[in-house]
Amino acid sequence: MFTGLIQAIGRIQAVEARGGDVRLRIACGGLSLEGVSEGDSIAVSGVCLTALDLDAAGFAADVSVETLEHTTLGACRAGDGVNLERSLTLATPLGGHFVSGHVDGVGTVRSISNEARSQRWVFEIPAALRGFVASKGSIAVNGVSLTVNELYPEGFGVNLIPHTLENTTFGTLATGAAVNIEVDLLARYVERLLQVR
C-alpha cells in the first residue's frame, strides 16, 4: 500500500527484455533505500513493483506481460523519469489516500492550462473507469494522489500546485502523454459488491 505522496523522481537506467517480459533498472534519485529489503514493494509511476538487486543508487524490478500491456511501463525507455514512493509503514503519515499500486488503466493528458500559480489538467480515461470517479474524490495519476475537481463526459480535471509540478514527473509531461490511472479503492469494492448482489 502507498499514499500517493511522491518521495522522489527516479530514472529508468535500463530496459532489459527477458523471455517475453522485462527487467527494469531504476536509479532512485533522492529516494533513500535505507531499510528497504529485497522483495519489498516500491511504486514506480503508480505501479507496485518488487525491488530486486538493491544497491545504494537504485534497484531492479521484473515487469510482467500483464503490467507491460496495461500500464505506461510498456512504453518506457532508458532515461525516462518516474515517480517513486516506498510502501507505507505504520509510521507513515497518511497525507494522500490509500493507493494500492494496481493500475486500472491508461489515460491521456487532454489539456493543460495555467490558473494563477497552479495548472488545470484535464485527463481522458477509458470508458470502463469513468463511473468510478467522483467530483472531490481521490484518484491516483502516475502514482500521485490527486483530488478530482470536475467531471467531463470522457474524464476529469484536477488542479496541480507548483509543489506537485516541481516534485513529480508532471513537470515533464505535455498534452497527449499517457498516464497510469488508479481509481479510488473504495469505489472499486462498492462496484463489485453491487455486481454480486
Report pLDDT digits (tens) over 118-160: 999 999 999 999 999 999 999 999 999 999 999 999 999 999 9
Q: How far apart are CA 8 and CA 10, in angstroms?
A: 6
Q: How far apart are CA 127 and CA 133, in angstroms?
A: 11
* Locus of grid cell 535505507: 34
Q: Regarding predicted confidence, which is higher, 2 or 185?
A: 2
If you average pLDDT over every residue of the chain, what do you get? 95
- Domain regions of the chain by residue span: 8-86, 105-196
CATH topology of domain 8-86: Elongation Factor Tu (Ef-tu); domain 3 (2.40.30)
Q: Pick from 177, 67, 187, 70: which is nearest to 124 by CA?
A: 177
Tell me whether domains 8-86 and 105-196 share a fold.
Answer: yes
Report pLDDT digits (tens) over 120-130: 999 999 999 99
Report pLDDT digits (tens) over 5-56: 999 999 999 999 999 999 999 999 999 999 999 999 999 999 999 999 999 8
Report pLDDT digits (tens) over 43-76: 999 999 999 999 989 999 999 999 999 999 999 9
| pTM summary value | 0.94
How do 41-44 and 81-86 pair as beta strands?
antiparallel
CATH 2.40.30.20 fits 105-196, yes or no: yes
